[in-house]
């Protein structure tokens, strides 16, 4: 898919471009807030949801291969919707529906599909990181293996032989995959 012109907002978040970040807040925050408030979200929670969505996008932007293929607004809206729905699941909040899907009728359906793909990627990465945090010393092995360093050097840093490091890394990756597959959230993400 081709790069969308709104990739500039992803780049702005990544490079802390104050002018474009300010534009993100001025251009998108009022609509996101209005949408969330119309669904029963409090003003404070609406601000938190917006901030958390931008943080997720920033984290995704750190993956240098992330390419925005849909309008930024569609991606941001879907992230905010999902974050709000997840927040309601964790609390006793009720999502309000008013018969209309939302006030975002100007966003074409193909943009929503592209945004959904990006959001799914964010949610999968978050699930992997959540599981990784629970893995003890495997976490260090896996995170170090992602560095752009010779694997022999990493083995030495970890105080392992290269052969043992490769075996340990393979076992840890298998364990990570198994733990992720066994999480209830995984089943929701792949269905």
Residue 91 has pLDDT above 80, yes or no: no
pLDDT 10s digits, 114-165: 556 666 666 777 777 778 788 888 888 888 887 778 889 989 988 999 899 8
Domain edges within the chain = 1-122, 134-191
Does residue 112 register a pLDDT over 90? no
Nearest to 35 by CA among 93, 97, 87, 94: 97
- Which residues, including other chains, have CB under 8 Å from residue 84's CB and lie 6 or more apart? 36, 39, 41, 45, 49, 95
Residue 59 scores a pLDDT above 90 = no
Whether the Cβ atoms of residue 168 and residue 151 lie closer than 8 Å to each other = no
The model's pLDDT over 16-52, given as tens digits with 9 standing for 90+, comes to: 999 999 999 999 999 888 888 888 888 888 999 999 9
7-11, 39-43, 61-65, 175-179: least confidently modelled range: 61-65
């Amino acid at each position: 898919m081709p790069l969308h012109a709104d990739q500039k907002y992803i780049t702005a978040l990544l490079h802390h471009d104050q002018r474009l970040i300010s534009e993100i807040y001025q251009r998108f925050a009022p609509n996101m807030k209005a949408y969330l408030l119309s669904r029963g979200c409090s003003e404070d929670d609406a601000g938190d949801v917006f901030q958390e969505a931008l943080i997720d996008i920033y984290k995704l932007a750190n993956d240098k291969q992330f390419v925005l293929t849909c309008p930024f607004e569609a991606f941001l809206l879907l992230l905010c919707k999902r974050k709000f729905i997840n927040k309601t699941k964790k609390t006793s909040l009720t999502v309000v529906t008013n018969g209309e899907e939302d006030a975002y009728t100007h966003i074409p359906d193909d943009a929503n599909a592209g945004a959904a793909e990006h959001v799914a990627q964010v949610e999968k990465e978050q699930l992997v990181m959540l599981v990784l945090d629970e893995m003890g010393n495997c976490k260090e092995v896996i995170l170090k293996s992602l560095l752009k360093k010779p694997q022999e050097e990493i083995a030495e840093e970890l105080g392992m032989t290269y052969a043992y490091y490769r075996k340990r890394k393979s076992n840890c990756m298998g364990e990570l995959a198994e733990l992720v597959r066994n999480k209830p959230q995984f089943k929701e993400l792949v269905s």
